[in-house]
Structure 1
């Protein structure tokens, strides 16, 4: 995974509150056993009509936003079921950050653990962010992860991110990679644990061997 300190790009205004994961990734796209093909399912019922024809009035179908990498949306984004496919679909589509006043709790964890940046901003700023995003020819949005600032042509906002997620983004780590950075501490704890309580080591294996 690559180092990411800033996300600079076009933002698409998607002013919908309580956009749930069923809408982000409809159930018919969950049938596969891997992560492939989720780009096509992203926001499918908003992007396409019942005949599968793209809706010309939907922001991501408009040429001006065809290369958007950031979404500006309403409160409680990603509420609903825990499907991680919603996050994978966003990433496959090319979305790297979502800005909203609040997020569904499970969606937030899924997103940040997959390095899809979620930026929480005050409710009072969303109107201006939507207005800025509605000017696709204006300066791109600039999300600086190191300094924790979101900048547009009219705003400069601070945002919070917990140190663990910030480190994952800056160092290009997923959850497993982050855990492995503590390998020496984990190994030292294991050695100490078995030294103090040797009778517990491989106890399940020993019992299984006796039973068989």
Structure 2
């Protein structure tokens, strides 16, 4: 289960499952609203930190993950009485996932976007824009450039901001900035870290009004201690589909 940093190691090299975050709790609260009449989508569900509480709210959830064994574990952790409300789908977002237009009342994508290229992000948000029905919500949680294990990247991020005001958090090789054991083996070398400008751009381009777009951080909300720098380690965002 969770280690001393509040992380559960996954079965591949695409990060971790974190403890429940404030953004995850907002998604769970949303799943309990009576106005939700379509399934919810959890992209990068891992072992179900966000999915299972939604199922316990009697929501239908489609849980997607790149790793089939993660979804098998999620099923084993889901209480039997909620199994009928759970659908799983193995596939990498965005290229391996397809759903009908307006299929979902909402979606969460937590600690996944860092593993996508700029092109994949554009493709992914175009799909999310189609999959989520008007009035539905998209919940995003992701790492920013402002965390301790990659603090050496911050000066380069600030330089990249001078050249472009979006996607400036791209790292072509994390090994240039950190060899910290917590990310050395379990995170890809190529990363996209997010700032508010990039989230704002993606929301606007793909038809989402901004409900929230803010930096959050600190161990008290679930950021692992070794990642904590100045309280802006995560970006937490909610978009409402127009």
How high is the TM-score relative to the length of structure 1?
0.30
Greater helix share, structure number:
1
Say which structure is richer in strand.
2
TM-score by length of 2: 0.28
